[in-house]
Amino acid sequence: MPVHSINPSDGSVIERFEPYSDARVAATIDASHAAFAQWRDTGFDERARLLRAAAAVLRARRRMHAETMTREMGKPIAQAEAEVDKCALVCEYYAEHAAAMLAPEEASSDGSRAYVRFDPIGVVLAVMPWNFPYWQVFRFAAPALMAGNAAVLKHASNVTRCALQIESVFREAGFPEDLFRALVIDAAAVPAVIAHPRVAAVTLTGSEAAGASVAACAGRALKKTVLELGGSDPFIVLADADVLVAAQTAATARCINTGQSCIAAKRFIVEEPVAAEFTALLVDAMRGKRLADPMEHSTDLGPLARADLRDELETQVRASVAAGARLLLGGSRLERPGFFFAATVLTDVRKGMPAYDEELFGPVAAVITVRDADDAVAVANDTPYGLGASVWTRDARRAEDIARRIEAGSVFVNGMVKSDPRLPFGGVKKSGYGRELSRAGIREFVNVKSVWIA
């Protein structure tokens, strides 16, 4: 069955793609492996030169790449342009630092010398989501290629043009023809790719269900996985916080990428004395977000990426309201073409409601009032997820104590959670395992090899 790209701004079909046959998939993996066999012997200087060239290619055609994202998944164009810039930056970051991050390390032993090498492992399969269709791919690919690996990409079915353009970025930059290849396949074809003997490992960014399925296949084949899954990040506001800045940041953190970000703040956990003030400011800030055509530069909120995602979000909001949550803003789809959903604020959110228990992938803020800081930590941890968290207080020691107690892969104090090439990124609990970015990320897909000399 052909794969469709649908413009979420109006529901029209943009392009149809014929999925690759099994034979073409196998041949592509073999070609990628052949490229790896040469690439593994190139030096870091050459790899870095090409990755810097990829950054230049991205920047040279920034507008075209950004428009492709916006057309296929509805991201506001200014955010799409910023995403292209960030991809260029992560290429330059690893071009600069990979050699030092993977330099052999001397070790003490009973030999005359021992050391640890970090060698490439081969072709890595990347299964990626549509929400940051360039960034998710580049944050994996930049370190993986610098480490000497090759990659095949199974991108989300609604962003196939993005996948093909990313493939051509590496080609235009001068990388070996088959070192980075896109596979146009649907999810059902992934198990066969994982089982292919020339695929060494798998990284997946996406939902819990996809993560569990991919990890099970990889487990059967005894191949390593890194999983970056969903989140329902807490945003804790204590009574001594700068409530105005917290509320404004909260709205931005909730609405980034039209609320479709794994590390978007989703549950706003507020100490009782400032709950009313924070909520009123949050409603103002959410109301101020401009929902419009995502191709306009001043747009804050575009459509959701797919009709089914909009429908699911609406169901979650309705069920929360039916269970007693109070709707202060928005709450439903917009009566216009496309998959638009209004900026929404819910209060009186409690356990047992979808807005408390589940990930809400859209511009819906759930406010939960708590008694004190201990209660806030308990609510923050009362989730199957553990991706990011944000804590707002003027008391630095208290903030760091809370940071220690929060079950998440990252905690930001008085700021919104963001990914930064210099910091490890990833989750605990149902948010997955393994890390991307920084030294931790580049060391995920390497053979940590001990060399001992008598």
CA distances (Å), 212 to each of 228, 230, 248, 436, in order?
11, 12, 36, 19
Handedness of CA 67, 69, 74, 80 (dihedral sign): negative
- Give 120 or 432: the residue with its C-beta nearer to ligand NAP: 432
Does residue 129 touch ligand NAP according to CB under 6 A? yes
Does residue 230 touch ligand NAP according to CB under 6 A? yes
User: What is the full DSSP assignment across 369-428?
Assistant: EESSHHHHHHHHH-SS--SEEEEE-S-HHHHHHHHHHS-SSEEEESS-----TTS-B--S
Site for ligand NAP in 22-41 (CB under 6 A): none
Token couple for 259:
């609320």
List, as own/partner pairs, every contact residues 366-369 make where C-beta atoms lie below 8 angstroms and the sequence separation is at least 24, other chains included. Answer: 366/266, 366/267, 366/268, 366/320, 366/325, 367/268, 367/270, 367/275, 367/278, 367/279, 367/282, 368/267, 368/268, 368/269, 368/270, 369/270, 369/271, 369/272, 369/275
In the Cβ-directed half-sphere of 145, how many Cα atoms lie within 13 Å?
34
Does residue 18 touch ligand NAP according to CB under 6 A? no
- Give 278 or 361: the residue with its C-beta nearer to ligand NAP: 361
Does residue 213 touch ligand NAP according to CB under 6 A? yes
Q: Considering only the stretches 9-17, 130-138, 280-288, 328-336, report the one whose residues sit in contact with ligand NAP under the rule CB under 6 A.
A: 130-138
How far apart are CB 387 and ligand NAP at their closest, in Å?
Answer: 6
How far apart are CB 1 and ligand NAP at their closest, in Å?
Answer: 11
Does residue 232 touch ligand NAP according to CB under 6 A? no
Among 31, 77, 142, 210, binds ligand NAP (CB under 6 A): 210
User: How many other β-carbons are positioned within 10 Å of the β-carbon of residue 374?
Assistant: 11
Among 48, 55, 190, 215, binds ligand NAP (CB under 6 A): 190
- Give 191 or 273: the residue with its C-beta nearer to ligand NAP: 191
Task: Give the integer Cα–Cα distance in Å for 442 and 424.
Answer: 10
Does residue 130 touch ligand NAP according to CB under 6 A? yes
Type of residue numbered 98 = A
Does residue 286 touch ligand NAP according to CB under 6 A? no
Would residue 267 be called left, alpha or beta, if left means φ above 0 and alpha means ψ between -120 and 50 degrees?
A: beta
Look-up of token digits 């549950």 = 267
- Give 47 or 75: the residue with its C-beta nearer to ligand NAP: 75
Among 19, 176, 231, 338, binds ligand NAP (CB under 6 A): 231
Does residue 206 touch ligand NAP according to CB under 6 A? yes
Task: Give the integer Cα–Cα distance in Å for 75 and 294.
Answer: 6
Number of residues that bind ligand NAP (CB under 6 A): 30
* Dmax (CA) of the chain: 75
Task: Give the integer Cα–Cα distance in Å for 451 and 258.
Answer: 50
Is 87 labeled as catalytic in the residue annotation?
A: no
Is 106 labeled as catalytic in the residue annotation?
A: no
- Give 144 or 190: the residue with its C-beta nearer to ligand NAP: 190
Per the CB < 8 A criterion, the answer to whether 269 and 235 are in contact is: yes
Does residue 90 touch ligand NAP according to CB under 6 A? no
Among 151, 262, 345, 367, binds ligand NAP (CB under 6 A): 262
How far apart are CB 411 and ligand NAP at their closest, in Å?
Answer: 15
Identify the three-state secondary structure at position 265: strand
How far apart are CB 388 and ligand NAP at their closest, in Å?
Answer: 9
Burial zone of 319 (CB within 10 Å; 0-12 exposed, 13-18 middle, 19+ buried): middle
Task: Give the integer Cα–Cα distance in Å for 193 and 26.
Answer: 8
Those residues with Cβ within 8 angstroms of residue 403's Cβ, 6 or more apart along the chain or in another chain: 389, 391, 411, 413
- The active-site residue, picked from 92, 228, 359, 436, is 228
Among 92, 300, 359, 407, binds ligand NAP (CB under 6 A): 359
- The active-site residue, picked from 87, 91, 217, 262, is 262
- Give 72 or 271: the residue with its C-beta nearer to ligand NAP: 72
The residue nearest ligand NAP at its CB is 206
| Binding pattern for the stretch 415-454 against ligand NAP, x by CB under 6 A and - elsewhere | ------------x---xx----------------------
| Binding pattern for the stretch 138-167 against ligand NAP, x by CB under 6 A and - elsewhere | ----------------xxxx----------
β-partners of residue 235 are 268, 390
Does residue 125 touch ligand NAP according to CB under 6 A? no
Q: Could you list the residues that contact ligand NAP (CB under 6 A)? A: 127-131, 136, 154-157, 186-187, 190, 205-207, 210, 213-214, 228-231, 262, 359, 361, 387, 427, 431-432
Active site residues: 228, 262
